[in-house]
Amino acid sequence: MMTSITSQAATPGPIVRAEDVHKSFGHTEVLRGIDLTVQPKETVVLIGPSGSGKTTFLRCINHLEKINGGRIYVGGHLIGYRREDDRIVEDSERNIAAQRARIGMVFQRFNLFPHMTALENVIEAPVHVKKVPKEQAIEIAKGLLVKVGLSEKANSYPSQLSGGQQQRVAIARALAMDPMLMLFDEATSALDPELVGEVLKVMEQLAVEGMSMVVVTHEMGFARHVADRVVFMDGGKVVEGGPPAQIFDSPQHERTKAFLSKIL
């Protein structure tokens, strides 16, 4: 049976530890020394203007983007790299894939397989990546579709689902891999406004249940009410971070104040 979400945080120490992370695309430096920790069961929301490096940093956490400097650890393990004698070298694709399997990620676009039903989308990775017996994977998937409020849509294809429903299937698909950490990259930005709430509700429930999460979003209501900690990024750096009330009501940095004054 799938391990309960609240047990995923058994790893001692931070679930994420980023140390002086740098990332460049060509001559453009996008991340300029990010230091950030995420504790087990903590929901950390990254906010900031477009181009501040939020999505790039999120993608570096599961090595979808290779970092140019620094270290990122998830669950105490160095992500994407390994120590070889006195050097740090890129890890094998097999090991990287195994690491990614424990990190769920939900993107702006739903990326569901169009030729598969909702249920088939959810069981695909557990069956073919984790080698979970199909019957067991189906039972897990059915439970997850109940969790995201889509039990009646198990046999529907993506083209028969609204954007919000597709994104909830994508969340169930990520949870089916029993992740220790969930990453959300603007999970509601591609949705019609009236569909945003149904996805945020699922994300909020995951936070209540103790899933460790890093969330990039422009939904400030979600950040204020659900986050344990809000981190403001700008220019590839962490400008400041703290409890939502501190960041939204008493920001310390002038750049944070200027950003919030424009969007609140």
* The two structure tokens encoding residue 152: 């009646």
Q: What percent of the chain has pLDDT over 90?
A: 87
**Mean per-residue pLDDT for 105-132?**
95
**CB neighbour list of residue 15: distance below 8 Å, 6 or more residues apart:** 9, 38, 39, 40, 42, 74, 75, 180, 181, 212
What's the length of the chain?
264
**Mean per-residue pLDDT for 70-82?**
93
Among candidate residues 251, 246, 242, the one with its CA nearest the CA of residue 42:
242
Q: Does residue 10 carry a pLDDT above 90?
A: no
Say whether pTM exceeds 0.95: no
Say what the pLDDT of residue 86 is: 81
